[in-house]
């Protein structure tokens, strides 16, 4: 009986600690093409969310928020990043990595009109589009 418990314990430990990681998406502000912004105000960040019972879409949103929160106050854009899924036995961990920027810094650099024009040219996917699709 002790041997059986030991074997089951080892199987359980191995199944919990092993995982598989898959890259889901590379993105530049979730644009259809990569955008190269030369700005010294960017900070490399990463954030994650565990998708136990929530959808992966919600987990991506939460992981992105966590990454931006790590960057600091007023960082609201995440550029040139990746979204990865790490599949565990009981849940999926979504990890978002990228470079965080303050849109206010970009507006100062390009001007408000230039920044709005730039956004329109990029075909950006907004938070509203993600949650309604």
Segments making up each domain of the chain, as ranges = 18-33+41-127
Which residue from 100, 94, 48 is spatially nearest to 71, judged by alpha carbons? 100
- Continuous segment of H or E residues that includes residue 64: helix 56-71
Tens of each residue's pLDDT in the chain, 133 residues: 778 777 877 776 666 666 666 666 666 565 555 566 665 668 899 999 988 776 777 888 889 889 989 988 888 888 878 888 888 878 888 898 888 888 888 777 777 777 777 677 766 665 555 554 4
**Integer Cα distance of 17 and 10 in angstroms:** 11
Task: Give the Cα separation of 60 and 86 in Å (integer).
Answer: 12
Residues 6+ apart with CB under 8 A from 78: 29, 45, 64, 67, 68, 96, 98, 99, 100, 101
3-state secondary structure of 28: coil
pLDDT tens profile 8-25:
777 766 666 666 666 666
């Amino acid at each position: 009986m002790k041997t059986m418990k030991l074997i089951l314990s080892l199987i359980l430990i191995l199944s919990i600690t092993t995982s598989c990681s898959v890259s889901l998406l590379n993105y530049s502000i979730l644009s259809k093409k990569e955008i190269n912004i030369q700005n010294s105000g960017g900070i490399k960040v990463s954030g994650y969310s565990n998708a136990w019972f929530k959808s992966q879409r919600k987990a991506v949103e939460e992981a992105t928020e966590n990454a931006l929160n790590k960057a600091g106050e007023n960082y609201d854009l995440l550029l040139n990043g990746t979204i990865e899924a790490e599949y565990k036995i009981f849940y999926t961990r979504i990890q978002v990595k990228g470079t965080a920027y303050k849109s206010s810094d970009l507006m100062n650099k390009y001007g408000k009109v230039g920044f709005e024009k730039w956004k329109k040219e990029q075909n950006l996917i907004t938070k509203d589009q993600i949650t309604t699709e």
